[in-house]
Amino acid sequence: MESGQHTTTHRRIDVDGLVFDVALGGPEQAPAVVLLHGFPVNSSCFDAALPRIHDAGLRTVTIDQRGYSPGARPDGVENYRLDLLVSDVIGVLDQLSIPYSLLVGHDWGGIVAWHLAGKHPERFTGLVAVSTGHPSATRDALQQGDDQREKSSYIKEFVAPGAEELLTARNGVLLRRAGLTKDELAPLLEPGALTGPLNWYRANFTGDIAETLECPPIDVPTTMLWSNGDATLGRTQAELTGRYVYGDYRFSELDGVDHWIPQNAPEALAAEIALRSATF
């Protein structure tokens, strides 16, 4: 089979009554990599990186997470707690009979990935965190009063009633200004599609954020991939992450790339995934 010609299989995986849209790609029987998207784009954010990851001899598992898969949109803010987001991923991997994998997470998917690696280290051969530092490092950055507070100020709007209307107004102009493409925006403009994703914020960032961000230190081999052009997640939370990783650790800084590393620097992301996979 020629480079980039690997088959992709789409599955619908039932976990505790919720049905997740999952795509499996790359060489069969190869080491698995599970990729977790952030807000507000689903797993399509990794599309440009996937062929490169497959060419590195890795099999990918991409999941449209709770609130993004149409069959996994439970009512109620309480149904989007972080512990449930974590257990969803374990449930999908169990249903696929994948005992361990490399873990990749961007943005909110990074928060979920850090907690997965910290609480289920036996399931993961390594972690590539994209943009999002260890949650305890983010807590430290917020408490230090650096620019992370300003960068995170948008959260107040996201947890407020009516955030759906704000973000979809004028054909989603605010989301387009944030960098979303027309194809990425389209599913979010469907009626009710933004409520689940916004509930990630409402369920976890309306109380004691420091408590929400509490996460165990990480023992699995870890890469922190961050760009100095990120307008949402700053340097302090990225650089302090090394304090909370006890295993092999690599910090990789990109120059001038914005927050959307999976879409706008897929080559760099795929290279870091391939490099991290080679260490286990």
DSSP letter, residue 99:
-
| Residues 6 or more apart in contact with residue 199 via CB below 8 angstroms | 67, 77, 79, 80
Pick the catalytic residue: 68, 80, 201, 244? 201
Place of tokens 């260890």: 134
Q: Which CATH number is associated with domain 8-277?
A: 3.40.50.1820
**Around 121, how many Cα atoms within 13 Å sit in the side-chain half-sphere?**
12
Give catalytic status of residue 201 as yes or no. yes
Give catalytic status of residue 259 as yes or no. yes
Give catalytic status of residue 107 as yes or no. yes
Pick the catalytic residue: 21, 64, 107, 140? 107
Question: For the segment 83-141, what is each residue's pLDDT rounded down to a tens digit?
Answer: 999 999 999 999 999 999 999 999 999 999 999 999 999 999 999 999 999 999 999 99
Q: Which residues of the chain have pLDDT under 50?
A: 1-2
Q: What is the model's pLDDT at position 23?
A: 98
Q: What is the model's pLDDT at position 5?
A: 66
- Structure tokens that stand for 223 in this block: 């890469």
Q: What is the model's pLDDT at position 235?
A: 95
Sheet holding 124-130, edge to edge: 8-15, 18-25, 59-63, 32-36, 101-106, 124-130, 222-227, 249-254
| Residues 6 or more apart in contact with residue 98 via CB below 8 angstroms | 32, 34, 61
Domain boundaries, the chain: 8-277
Q: What is the model's pLDDT at position 174?
A: 93
Q: What is the model's pLDDT at position 144?
A: 86
Pick the catalytic residue: 37, 54, 134, 259? 259
